[in-house]
Each structure stands twice: as structure tokens, then as C-alpha cells.
Amino acid sequence: MIVVSQRVPIPPERVFAVLADGWLYASWVVGAAHIRQVDSHWPQVGSRIHHSVGPWPLSVKDVSAVVEVEENKLLELEARMWPMGVAKIRLTLTPDSDGGTDVEMGEKLMRGPLSLLPAPVQGAVLAPRNTEALRRLADIAVHR
């Protein structure tokens, strides 16, 4: 799993509030584009965000689904980018001693052609992308 982290100067509850608003998904997930629908019970296990991935007009309609959730602590997703692949994404929120949150984002390509890439190549692509995703998440959470 490729893991990146970011400290956010607000409590986990405020960071999780952004994760819990599925309509904000494309605002912080690099590569996600248009949100078509968010299941009403998002982010409960099994709920999905129906989104597009990639730039128009080459965007692909797909979904991301919640695999595991612990309010204010953890959100694990299965993110689909078919035909390129399926990824497991795990966001962990840990309170720090200054009232902020350490956010860790891990991603592992599980199925599809991209999962066949060697780990160093996956890391070279995923680490910068996910670092930017956490920067966006932090900005939304802090300024919301």
C-alpha cells in the first residue's frame, strides 16, 4: 500500500465531515470529476458515490463504495476506475496533541491493468496524486 500523510490543524470531526459529504468527493479526490449521485446513507458500509473519472470527453462513469467506516476515525473505499483498475483507499484520522488531525491516506491497486505495474512505479504515480488529494481535503476542512 502506498501511504502519504498530512497534518490538518483542526479536530478529526471536522475533517471527517468533509469525507462524510459525498458531494465534495470530486473537490478533493484528484482525477474524480463529475458527481452524478451520492447514496442517501453515505458513508455507511456499502453506500456508493457515482462519479466520473478523468478529463472530459474521455471521462469514464464509475463508482466508489464504502468498505469500512468508523466515524471521525476511518474511511475505507473501493474506488473503481474501470477499465484501468480498482483501488482500495484507506483514510485514517488520528487526533494529535495540539487539537489537530494527522490524516493518513493509503492506496493499493487491487485489480485491472494498473495493478500489474511494479510497486515503485505505482508509488511514483500514487504518492504525488494522493499528497495533492490530502492538501485539497485539508483546505476544504479548514476553510469550510
Q: Is the pLDDT of residue 93 over 80?
A: yes
Asked if residue 124 has pLDDT above 80, the reply is yes
Cell of 130: 494522493
Please indicate whether residue 97 or residue 80 has the higher confidence score (pLDDT). 97
Q: Region 107-120: what's the mean pLDDT?
A: 86
- At the second CATH level, the architecture of 2-81+99-143 is 2-Layer Sandwich (3.30)
**Does residue 82 have a pLDDT over 80?**
no
Rounded to an integer, the average pLDDT of 97-108 is 96
Q: What is the pTM of this model?
A: 0.93
Domain ranges (residues) in the chain: 2-81+99-143
Residue 10 pLDDT greater than 90, yes or no: yes
